[in-house]
Every structure is written in C-alpha cells, then in structure tokens.
Amino acid sequence: MARYYLHLRDHIEETLDPEGVELPDLNAVKQAVLENVRDVLAGELRSTGVLDLRYRVDAETGDGEVVHSLTFKDAFSVIPDTA
C-alpha cells in the first residue's frame, strides 16, 4: 500500500497532513478524500452554522504528486425546497 497525504487548501492558505494514510488504490484514495471533505463540512456546520466552499482537499503521494483533488462544493448535492 502507498501512503497519501490529504492536504486542505484554498487559494491563499493550506493545512498540510503530516501523517498521511496508507491506501491500496486510487478508488480508496477518492473515497478517503470524499469522507475527509464531508467530515470537515459537517464539523464546520455543527460548530459555526456556515459552509465555506472555498476549500478543497488534495491527495498527494510522498513525492508531492497530486493524484486526486476534490473541492468542497463537489462533495455533496443540494436538493432545493420546491414549496
């Protein structure tokens, strides 16, 4: 298994993942990134009531190659109120 680092970034700042996580393949990387983004969004919504969609999570190899990136806005769907 390879180690991937899930870094939180926007256009100005970043929070780097110093530990990383071992995952078997790209599908597992994509799932881990999706769960990470949703966890961050859920925590922010619980604590502040705000969804800040300016961020993304980049999954990088130990060599710094980004193998997957997911913006916060692409991690969920919104079903509008039609009433």
Percent of the chain with pLDDT over 90: 98
Determine the pLDDT at residue 28. 98
Q: How confident is the model at residue 83 (pLDDT cuts 50, 70, 90)?
A: confident
Tell me the pLDDT tens digit for each residue of 17-56: 999 999 999 999 999 999 999 999 999 999 999 999 999 9
Mean of all residue pLDDT scores within the chain: 97
> Token pair of 39, please?
């966890």
In the chain, what are the domain boundaries? Answer: 2-74
Residues 67 and 61: beta-carbon distance below 8 Å: yes
Tell me the pLDDT tens digit for each residue of 64-79: 999 999 999 999 999 9
